[in-house]
Amino acid sequence: MHGSGKDYREKLKKAPSKDHGNGKRWRGALWILPSFLGVLVFYLLPYADVARRSFFGAVDNQFVGLANYQAILGNTAFRLAVKNTVKFTLICVPTLVLLALACAVVLYQSKYGGVIKSAFLMPMALPAVSVALVWRLLFHSQGLFNYWLSHFGMEGRDWMNGQGAFWILVGSYIWKNLGYDIVLWMAGLSGISENIYEAAKVDGAGEWKCFLKITLPNLKPSLYTITVLSFLNSFKVFREAYLVAGDYPHEGIYMMQHLFNNWFRAFSFDKMAAAAVLESGVLLVLILLLQKAWDSGVE
Amino acid sequence: MKFRKLKRAAGIVLSMALVLGSLAGCSGGGAQESGDGGAGSSNQAGSGGGKQAMGRFLEEDVTLPIVLSTVYDMKKLEDGTIRILGDNGDNGARTIWDSKDSGVNWEKAFDVPAEIQDQGDGYVDHAALSSDGQSIWAYNKIEDDAITQILYLVSKDGEVSQVPFELPDAKGGSSKSFEDGEETGDGGAGMVKNMVLDLCFLDPGQVLLKDISDIIYQINVGDGSVAHTYDFSGAEDTHQIYMAGNKLVVATSTEVLVYDTETGEQQQTEEALQKSVSESGMLTAVDTVDAGESIYCLTGNGLYHYKFGGSVMEQLIDGTMNTLGAPAFYPIALTMLDEENYMVAATDLNSDALGGITLLRYTWSADTPAKPDKELKVYSLYNNRELRQSVSKFQKEHTDVYVNYQVAMSEENGMTVSDALKTLTTEIMAGKGPDLMLLDGMPIKTYMEKGILKDITSLFQEDSGSYFENIRKAYQDSEGKVYAAPARFFIPMAQGGGAYYTPGEDFASFTSKQGVLANMQPETVVEKFWYSCGASWQKEDNTLDAEKVTEFLSQLKNAYGEYNGSAIEDTTAVAISEGGAVNELQKVSLSWGDFDLAFGRVNVNVGLYGRMDYGMLDAVNKKLGQGDYGLMPGQAEGVFVPAMVIGVSSKSAQPETAEAFVKYLFSPQAQKVSQLGGFPVEKESFRSMVDGHEYDNRDSDMRLMAGGSAAGSDEMLSYEMVPTPEEDIQKITKMVESFSVPALQDDVIKESVVEQGAKVLKGELSPEEATDAIMQKVNIYLAE
């Protein structure tokens, strides 16, 4: 107001007003307060209750210390579910991420990429019940898949009640989520400036070199997001598995959610709570590690 | 600038819409009204802050000086007399009784003339009263192996005349054969061209009658001329006819049609009436007090009032709170005494009365709360008819208790057992769970271990000698505490000829006979023997013994032989199961295999026995030549199948009332209720169910013909309905007293065993492979 704008800016630098900074912070806090309240009421407080329950009995509410944790760590069903869930995640998430990247790169360069991208998104729009019905039609011991195999002289079997169930689940997960990851990758690709590619081509770089040296490094921010989202989506595959195979599927696809589902029905809230706390702790560590890796990559 | 203002305005409008939408979504649902106020209302819980709604119809029994074995009709005459038509249970005479004081005292008007009495040359199925006291009787005269229908009109004072009307032949041309009013086939003995299946008075000069083709004739009783015809012969559903003034109300299971009897034309559809049929069930009795301006009608859900042209079907009496909603209660006539008093004549199959005839009066009590103060929540996965019947009777005796019976699984909601149990878990933990649970199909042991069930040992301390304690205390724990008790049970039984089955033989000997179980559905065979064998598979650590399971499957396969799909399709059991909705227990019932055994389609009949039918057992034994029945062979000894397992929730809000209801369920009164749900655990009731006392004092020439099967309509098994011989009563009683082990009730294990076991019987898997598959699934379940 008085003096030049430059003087004003210098004044601010030298003696920034505390009131001015605090006011900004309070205003920011007020803006996120409604959302935070929702998170507090619907996530944080219930989680705290779950954590509390993990130290108490299921129905009688007696304090039992670490007994629930000991019980679940020694529980063979829990160990099987953890093993299957980890195995599923380690196979599905990298496969999905890499496959989606490859498809996104191809589609990005194609003039029909937009249309085909939409087609990839269709599986995600299908209800889980419809998918489960199709599974049954295809993979039942008297289903279409065995019928096709018989035409090739091969013997069919009950795919959902054998080792094949796991790979069907993997295939279903990838089929359903591929479009989603493709869209995210393509968004990342569109954020890379064309000038960099042009400059590289002028310098004599080929397609593969461009991909390695320009595309991949610039997609690292997207990699973190896509990996976390794919990881979270991997838990949703339980819906189809449950609809097709019920409460007790083949041991190859018996996941953590199956266990939680059955424990809930049997009033085993104590074990559920302990398992939930352990699982959330592992997930939190994983996400923090990923974030650290991404941060160090960015630096 | 313009767009900034537009954006701001749009933002404000959208924010307001969001806020208003959230508030609207948060508001409570509209209260459901079951009726308006005044004398006609009932069962409205007090709403809002204050006074409880008052006024309810109370039920009481009406006693006649004689026992009626049949009631044809009951009506309030123009002069206020209540008149009833029926058969005297003592001497079989068709008789008419009157009451001039609204059913308190009764006197005989007269016995109907000799032409209508049972002279050995015919019988009466239907009769109706007019408002002036006349009655019309449809007499089926038997002569020369044919049945001729004669309509007799009896005046108020007992003078008889014949209505000069002859029913035309039934539409469709072919004559039917009937026996005791039931169609038994085409042609042959008892040939009849047509019959009256329903009739009622339109006014003292006109009658409506319905024939076997579902054609309704409106005839003048004076000259027998037909005023109008209402043709429903093409319809699939049966049509019931009722009168309301000059309106003919024709009801089916899905719709209600109204006709003007003066013109014979159908009137505009009554939407509210139509809708109520789909919600409340078919109309079973109708009456009017205002010359047909409105009607009062009974359904399985209670008593309703409807004004023609209106939009509301008002519920006056909630059937769940009294006998009107009981499963075995079939109204015959509804008589409006006035708007605050009604009478109902009905057949109640669980009544001790002869023929099950029951007369009830409902009286408005303005001082009684519309809904009792205490609500007892009762829960079961599947509908249980014995429980429903007991609920009605319990409420009648405890007018301060409203029993809210909730059934989780129904055809409409498509819920799975798993979903239902999860919902139940949520409700229990939220404190809104039921007070009393019928634990059939539920994980009883889990509920016991988790403390979900209350200790009810004290309820079973008294009268232990009156019960089969070996059954009642099936779920007693190691400390002697009882948390759940079966009120009924089934006997795993087998019947067969001497070459295939000997009572008392063990499982190994029985199954060593190759093909003894041939031609049965594999799934059903495995499930039946699961009951007699499963109890022996559980080790002390609650895991399954794989060797025993393999042994079971191997032996069963040997007994089953080669799978023959086409032979199985021809069996009666398959035909019945494909014919309509059946519950799980019916599929494994012994009675379904009777005809297949008798006519040689199967070698042995096995299944669960829950209802004494000595006549059929004996008939099959005789047909086989040297047939006999006994306990189903099994790997476990002394196995029985508990049913109607009762438990009280440890979180119950009404524990005393729940315990009172449990005591009632084990009382002789409730135990004698029989709806095919198993034998009662109370000894006196068990004996009463088994001894066939209802067939005492019947004429020796009374025979019941049972017949028909999928394989051909000429298969008949006829037997006399006689009391069970003492020898057989003792045999069955000894079987029951030998029981010591409840069948394994775990549905997860059972489903797995049945699924894999069926594959073994079909030859798709070896017993070892099937056992591996079972153990793999079951081990996860047990490990949890």
| pLDDT tens column, B517-537 | 998 999 999 999 999 999 999
Q: Regarding predicted confidence, which is higher, B586 or B597?
A: B597
Residue A195 touches partner B, C-beta closer than 8 Å = no
Q: What is the pLDDT of residue B508?
A: 94
- Flag the least confident range among A134-143, B39-48, B127-136: B39-48
Residue A284 touches partner B, C-beta closer than 8 Å = no
Q: What is the pLDDT of residue B403?
A: 92
Q: Are residues A248 and A125 in the same domain?
A: yes
Interface test with B, best of A50, A62, A251, A265 (most B CBs within 10 A): A265
Domain range for A42 is 19-53
Q: Are residues A235 and A119 in the same domain?
A: yes
The mean per-residue pLDDT over the stretch B122-135 comes to 91
The mean per-residue pLDDT over the stretch B694-720 comes to 59
The mean per-residue pLDDT over the stretch A212-241 comes to 87
Interface test with A, best of B450, B750, B772, B779 (most A CBs within 10 A): B450
How would residue B34 be classed by pLDDT, with cut points 50, 70 and 90? very low
- Determine the residue type at B27: S
Chain A nearest-CA residue for B424: A265
| In the predicted structure, residue B353 carries a pLDDT above the cut 90 | no
Q: Are residues A101 and A47 in the same domain?
A: no
Question: With an 8 Å Cβ cutoff, are A248 and B780 in contact?
Answer: yes
Q: What is the pLDDT of residue A158?
A: 79
d(CA B693, CA B688): 7
Q: What is the pLDDT of residue A22?
A: 63
- How far CA A86 is from CA of A178, A246, B193, B525, B776, in Å, comes to 20, 21, 76, 41, 20
d(CA B534, CA B548): 9
Q: Are B681 and B491 in contact (CB under 8 A)?
A: no
- Flag the least confident range among A18-32, B680-694, B737-751, B758-772: A18-32
Q: What is the pLDDT of residue A6?
A: 58
Q: Regarding predicted confidence, which is higher, B45 or A123?
A: A123
Q: Are B284 and B299 in contact (CB under 8 A)?
A: yes
Question: With an 8 Å Cβ cutoff, are B421 and A265 in contact?
Answer: yes
Q: Are residues A243 and A268 in the same domain?
A: yes
Q: Are B249 and B283 in contact (CB under 8 A)?
A: yes
Nearest by CB to residue B780, choosing from A77, A263, A266, is A77
Q: What is the pLDDT of residue A280?
A: 92
Q: Are residues A98 and A25 in the same domain?
A: no
For residue B443, list chain A residues with Cβ-Cβ distance below 8 A: 265-266
| In the predicted structure, residue B237 carries a pLDDT above the cut 70 | yes
Mean pLDDT of chain A: 85
Residue that is written with structure tokens 């993990």 in the block:
A54
Q: Which residues of chain B approach chain A closer than 8 Å at the C-beta?
A: 418, 421-422, 425, 428-429, 443, 446-447, 450-452, 650, 748, 752, 773, 776-777, 779-781, 783-784
Q: Are residues A73 and A124 in the same domain?
A: yes
Q: Is A4 among the domain residues? A: no
d(CA B696, CA B689): 13
The mean per-residue pLDDT over the stretch B53-76 comes to 88
Q: What is the pLDDT of residue B704?
A: 56
Q: Is A12 among the domain residues? A: no
Q: Are residues A71 and A150 in the same domain?
A: yes
Q: Are residues A184 and A115 in the same domain?
A: yes
Give the up-direction half-sphere exposure of residue B38: CA atoms within 13 A in the CB hemisphere: 7
| In the predicted structure, residue B709 carries a pLDDT above the cut 70 | no
For residue B770, list chain A residues with Cβ-Cβ distance below 8 A: none
Split into its structural domains, chain A has a count of 2
How would residue B373 be classed by pLDDT, with cut points 50, 70 and 90? confident
How would residue A102 be classed by pLDDT, with cut points 50, 70 and 90? very high
For residue A250, list chain B residues with Cβ-Cβ distance below 8 A: 776-777
Q: Is A234 among the domain residues? A: yes
Within 10 angstroms of residue B77's Cβ, the number of other Cβ atoms is 17
Q: Are residues A23 and A102 in the same domain?
A: no
For residue A80, list chain B residues with Cβ-Cβ distance below 8 A: 780, 783
For residue B775, list chain A residues with Cβ-Cβ distance below 8 A: none
Chain A nearest-CA residue for B752: A248
Question: With an 8 Å Cβ cutoff, are A251 and B443 in contact?
Answer: no
Q: What is the pLDDT of residue B43?
A: 39
Q: Are residues A125 and A190 in the same domain?
A: yes
How would residue A298 be classed by pLDDT, with cut points 50, 70 and 90? low
Q: Is A5 among the domain residues? A: no
- Determine the residue type at B368: T
Which has the closest alpha carbon to A180: A227, A241, A129? A227
Q: How many CB pairs under 8 A join A and B?
A: 57
Interface test with B, best of A163, A248, A260, A261 (most B CBs within 10 A): A248
Mean pLDDT of chain B: 84
Locate all alpha helices (DSSP H) within B561-604, ordered by sequence: 565-569, 572-579, 584-587, 594-598
Residue A263 touches partner B, C-beta closer than 8 Å = yes
β-pairing, B639-648 vs B741-742, is parallel
- Flag the least confident range among B17-31, B406-420, B553-567, B726-740: B17-31
Q: Is A33 among the domain residues? A: yes
Per-residue model confidence as pLDDT tens digits over A61-94 = 889 999 999 999 999 999 999 999 999 999 999 9
Residue A88 touches partner B, C-beta closer than 8 Å = no
State CA B184 to chain mean position distance.
Answer: 23
Q: Is A9 among the domain residues? A: no
Question: With an 8 Å Cβ cutoff, are A259 and B776 in contact?
Answer: no
CA quadruple B29, B32, B36, B38: dihedral positive or negative?
negative
How would residue B609 be classed by pLDDT, with cut points 50, 70 and 90? very high
Q: Are residues A235 and A95 in the same domain?
A: yes
Chain B nearest-CA residue for A242: B418
Q: Is A250 among the domain residues? A: yes
The mean per-residue pLDDT over the stretch B387-410 comes to 88
Nearest by CB to residue B784, choosing from A59, A250, A266, is A266
Q: What is the pLDDT of residue B619?
A: 86
Per-residue model confidence as pLDDT tens digits over B636-695 = 999 999 999 999 999 999 999 999 999 999 999 899 887 778 999 999 999 998 988 877
Q: Is A278 among the domain residues? A: yes
Q: Regarding predicted confidence, which is higher, B699 or B691?
A: B691
The mean per-residue pLDDT over the stretch B8-28 comes to 74
- Flag the least confident range among B126-130, B245-249, B347-351, B476-480: B347-351
Within 10 angstroms of residue B127's Cβ, the number of other Cβ atoms is 24
The mean per-residue pLDDT over the stretch B135-160 comes to 87
Q: Are residues A32 and A91 in the same domain?
A: no
Question: With an 8 Å Cβ cutoff, are A269 and B429 in contact?
Answer: yes
Per-residue model confidence as pLDDT tens digits over B155-173 = 998 899 999 998 888 776 4
Question: With an 8 Å Cβ cutoff, are B783 and A77 in contact?
Answer: yes
Q: What is the pLDDT of residue B462?
A: 79
Question: With an 8 Å Cβ cutoff, are B451 and A59 in contact?
Answer: yes
The CATH number of residue A192's host domain is 1.10.3720.10
Q: Are B33 and B44 in contact (CB under 8 A)?
A: yes
Nearest by CB to residue A254, choosing from B422, B748, B780, is B780
Question: What distance in Å separates residue B753's CA from the closest CA in chain A?
Answer: 13
- Determine the residue type at B781: Y
Q: What is the pLDDT of residue B493?
A: 94
- Flag the least confident range among B42-51, B635-644, B729-738: B42-51
- Flag the least confident range among A36-50, B274-288, B606-620: B274-288
Chain A nearest-CA residue for B453: A59
